Chains A and B, each alone.
Chain A
Amino acid sequence: MTQLPTPGATPAAPPPAEPLPTAAPVRPRWRETLGLLARNPTAAVSAVVLVLIVLVAVFDETLAPDGPNEQDPSLQLQPPSWAHPFGTDEFGRDVFSRVILGAATSLRVGFLSVAFALVVGTLIGLLAGFYGTWVDDVLMRLMDVLFAFPAVLLAIAIVAIRGAGPANAILAIGIVYVPIFARVTRASVLGVREEVYVRASRSVGASDWRLITRHVLPNAAPPIIVQTSVSLAFAVLAEAALSFLGLGPRRPDPSWGLMLADGRGFIEQAWWYAVFPGLAIVVTVLCFNLLGDGLRDVLDPRQRTLMAGSGR
């Protein structure tokens, strides 16, 4: 909350044309947010780990010591060693390399499916919660119908119509999560909608769109943020389930879910086969959740001031 100008630190900031003596400097909010996030150790570590995971996913072919399907029949189900830190699977493939190469698939499915559900579900929840009446009835009954289908059955139906493959797995998982986001958003919006400041803004002529985007959504966001981090976690697992059923990414392409599914059968002879892909999922999911918690705290302006105050 300092008033000191930050010399040379803001190339993106507009040039201070005429210095207003009484005006506070316009602080770039995203920089402040990042700064506060960096002071929350759990969130900071999670963010760093997630960046590392994403980097691994991007540079997977450079990083992986072996190709995804390089088999060595003499090295079936070998325990971890210096040559194969995560051991080998039943075809003698290097689990370490496959975990690295599977990261891209798993993350892509997780991110894209949740992004789809987040956008569609939040929009539906906002409209239903804000307008109420028949809009609410129609949209939420639609969501109930979607929700009533067993998730896997719904995914199978979608994949059956559109064919198997990662793109359709993303769509399937996304559609399954839409009602969850719609419900979380609607519930949160119902509370915010009745706030006096919404009424106050309406009383000065704010349009519905402005009320929704400036007042309702930002104040209804914390549960949605938490739901996003939880869903990212579940989406990575759902990808595993779909792959297991042969509806997602297909063998022999590596994906964490597929490896977990395959390794399950060998858990007594070769724990490393299932444990390392599983560990990759756990670490990713955990980081998403912790980062989500941190973000929620940082995005609340009341907490923001407290943290900024204590930090200096």
Chain B
Amino acid sequence: MSAPSFEKPATAAAPVLEVEDLRVDLRTPRGTAHVVNGLSYTVGPGETVAVVGESGSGKSVSVLALLGLLPARTATVTGRALLQGEDLLTMAPERLRQVRGPGAGMVFQDPMTSLNPVLTVGRQLTEGLRAHGPVSKAAARARAVELLGEVGLPDPGRAVGRYPHELSGGMRQRVVIAMALANSPALLIADEATTALDVTVQAQILDLVERLQSEHGTGVIWITHDLGVVAGIADRVLVMYGGRCVEDGTVDDVLERPVHPYTRGLLGALPDLAADPDEDLATIAGTPPAPTDLPAGCVFWPRCPVRGDARCETEQPPLAVVGRGGAGLPHRAATWCAEREAS
């Protein structure tokens, strides 16, 4: 506890983040919502893991829980989440505060609301620096200018003195990213970081994150529901549904050879530009299950077009290996149908 720095050098093999059986329950007026139900994954150094799924699938909550950013009054978080070997979930509050920033930084979805309107860009940027040790005003300012340059903001020297409302959405999101990167985190969590931006700005931000990642060896969790972004940025993909991981594997495996009916539905729902424009878009019928009332068997069963096994309705399918991708990484899916196909 005495040394606030991370002594362990991240070796190529040691994952930056290891999440094991993460569960999050939220108390709501309508009963306990089981928002995340036994999520396990790892993020290696320099690796990008994309977490995809519909709204309400527990993506955001699962990462907020990692950094202890859920309201303690309503949220119960169990499991393990080792960030460079230290469990975030059992950490003392002061230690957790020290880890936020240099250990893990987070970029939030909406650049319009994630900056404090009454503080200048420079002051918010240096917040993370000042929180982790005394920094002189001049040094903090210089670092802020440097960071803004790094994220590609034009004229960073002037931008530090500006207020958030004086910047465009794309510029603000760069500021938010710079804020998260100020302490060179080992892990960067981007929660729908480009969803609110237009496509060209989105592409610039993705390039930026990739460049920074290759320079600093940062592990990245990229939460999105945009499969185009996933194909562009991710090394591995984790598909979430009903607070569970229903399928994970390399980008090629999951996007090219999806196994779970939900993943297939998700990919099928992508508009195909070559298709007949008069044809209706494919959709997945129904809505995701309410986290207060999850089905007993496979979470996807109520909407599943396949339902190929008697156990689907009653028994929860385990996340089983269904194949191996190029790098020998397992391709896993939680469905009874895959087992039948494979055998």
Interface residues of A, Cβ cutoff 8 Å to B: 20-24, 26-27, 132-133, 195-207, 210, 214-215, 218-219, 300-302, 305
Complex alpha-carbon distance, A22 and B158, angstroms: 6
B98-152 residues at the A interface, CB under 8 angstroms: 98-102, 104-106, 108-110, 113-119, 123-124, 127-128, 130-132, 141, 145
Residue pair B106, A201 in contact (C-beta under 8 Å):
no
- Complex contacts, A210 vs chain B, CB 8 Å: 127, 130-131
Q: Can you list 9 pairs linking A and B with CB atoms under 8 Å apart?
A: A20-B157, A22-B155, A23-B160, A24-B160, A196-B113, A197-B113, A219-B118, A300-B118, A305-B163
Residue pair B73, A200 in contact (C-beta under 8 Å):
no
Residue pair A196, B105 in contact (C-beta under 8 Å):
no
Interface residue? B69 (CB, 8 A): yes
B18-36 residues at the A interface, CB under 8 angstroms: none
- Complex contacts, A20 vs chain B, CB 8 Å: 157
* A22 touches which of B100, B132, B157, B183 (Cβ 8 Å): B157
Residue pair A132, B166 in contact (C-beta under 8 Å):
no
Select from chain A the residue with minimum beta-carbon distance to B99.
Answer: A205
Interface residue? B180 (CB, 8 A): yes
Central interface residue in A205, A206, A300, by most chain B CB within 10 Å: A205
Residue pair A203, B105 in contact (C-beta under 8 Å):
yes
Residue pair B69, A199 in contact (C-beta under 8 Å):
yes
Closest chain-A Cβ to B184's Cβ sits at a distance in Å of 12
- Complex contacts, A218 vs chain B, CB 8 Å: 116, 118-119
Closest chain-A Cβ to B118's Cβ sits at a distance in Å of 5
Residue pair A204, B131 in contact (C-beta under 8 Å):
yes
Complex alpha-carbon distance, A204 and B176, angstroms: 11
Residue pair B116, A197 in contact (C-beta under 8 Å):
yes
Interface residue? B85 (CB, 8 A): no
- Complex contacts, B97 vs chain A, CB 8 Å: 205-207
Closest chain-B Cβ to A54's Cβ sits at a distance in Å of 29
Residue pair B113, A195 in contact (C-beta under 8 Å):
yes
Residue pair A26, B114 in contact (C-beta under 8 Å):
no
Residue pair A205, B163 in contact (C-beta under 8 Å):
no
Complex alpha-carbon distance, A300 and B131, angstroms: 25
- Complex contacts, B158 vs chain A, CB 8 Å: 22-24
A204 touching B119 in the complex, CB below 8 Å, given contacts A196-B114, A305-B163: no
A24 touching B161 in the complex, CB below 8 Å, given contacts A204-B182, A205-B131: yes
Number of A-B residue pairs, CB cutoff 8 Å, is 113
Name 18 extra pairs, CB < 8 A, besides A197-B115, A305-B166: A22-B145, A133-B72, A133-B73, A197-B113, A197-B124, A199-B114, A200-B179, A203-B67, A203-B101, A204-B100, A205-B102, A205-B131, A205-B183, A206-B97, A206-B128, A207-B131, A214-B127, A218-B116
Complex alpha-carbon distance, A133 and B119, angstroms: 29
Select from chain A the residue with minimum beta-carbon distance to B69.
Answer: A199
A201 touching B155 in the complex, CB below 8 Å, given contacts A24-B161, A301-B117: no
Select from chain B the residue with minimum beta-carbon distance to A304.
Answer: B163
Closest chain-B Cβ to A144's Cβ sits at a distance in Å of 20
Residue pair A301, B118 in contact (C-beta under 8 Å):
yes
- Complex contacts, B131 vs chain A, CB 8 Å: 204-207, 210
A197 touching B114 in the complex, CB below 8 Å, given contacts A202-B69, A204-B183, A205-B101: yes
- Complex contacts, A133 vs chain B, CB 8 Å: 72-73
- Complex contacts, B183 vs chain A, CB 8 Å: 204-205
- Complex contacts, A214 vs chain B, CB 8 Å: 116, 119, 123, 127
- Complex contacts, B160 vs chain A, CB 8 Å: 23-24
- Complex contacts, B161 vs chain A, CB 8 Å: 23-24, 26-27
Complex alpha-carbon distance, A195 and B98, angstroms: 22
Complex alpha-carbon distance, A27 and B122, angstroms: 13
- Complex contacts, B180 vs chain A, CB 8 Å: 203-204
- Complex contacts, B163 vs chain A, CB 8 Å: 301-302, 305
Select from chain A the residue with minimum beta-carbon distance to B181.
Answer: A204
Interface pairs A-B: 10 shortest CB-CB: A22-B157, A204-B128, A205-B101, A24-B161, A203-B106, A205-B100, A205-B131, A197-B116, A196-B113, A196-B114
- Complex contacts, B118 vs chain A, CB 8 Å: 218-219, 300-301
Residue pair A22, B113 in contact (C-beta under 8 Å):
no
A204 touching B165 in the complex, CB below 8 Å, given contacts A197-B116, A199-B108, A219-B116: no
- Complex contacts, B132 vs chain A, CB 8 Å: 205
Residue pair A215, B116 in contact (C-beta under 8 Å):
yes
- Complex contacts, A202 vs chain B, CB 8 Å: 69, 100
Contact pattern, B 63-80, Cβ under 8 Å of A = 1, otherwise 0: 000010101110000000
Contact pattern, B 20-59, Cβ under 8 Å of A = 1, otherwise 0: 0000000000000000000000000000000000000000
Interface residue? B156 (CB, 8 A): yes
Residue pair A201, B127 in contact (C-beta under 8 Å):
yes
Complex alpha-carbon distance, A200 and B69, angstroms: 9
- Complex contacts, B100 vs chain A, CB 8 Å: 202-205
Closest chain-A Cβ to B197's Cβ sits at a distance in Å of 15
B241-282 residues at the A interface, CB under 8 angstroms: none
Select from chain A the residue with minimum beta-carbon distance to B116.
Answer: A197
- Complex contacts, A215 vs chain B, CB 8 Å: 116, 119
* A205 touches which of B119, B123, B128 (Cβ 8 Å): B128
Complex alpha-carbon distance, A214 and B118, angstroms: 9
Complex alpha-carbon distance, A205 and B124, angstroms: 12
Complex alpha-carbon distance, A48 and B182, angstroms: 46
Select from chain A the residue with minimum beta-carbon distance to B103.
Answer: A205
Central interface residue in A196, A203, A207, A214, by most chain B CB within 10 Å: A203
B152-187 residues at the A interface, CB under 8 angstroms: 155-158, 160-161, 163, 165-166, 176, 179-180, 182-183
Closest chain-A Cβ to B170's Cβ sits at a distance in Å of 17
Residue pair A196, B119 in contact (C-beta under 8 Å):
no
Residue pair A219, B117 in contact (C-beta under 8 Å):
yes
Complex alpha-carbon distance, A204 and B188, angstroms: 11
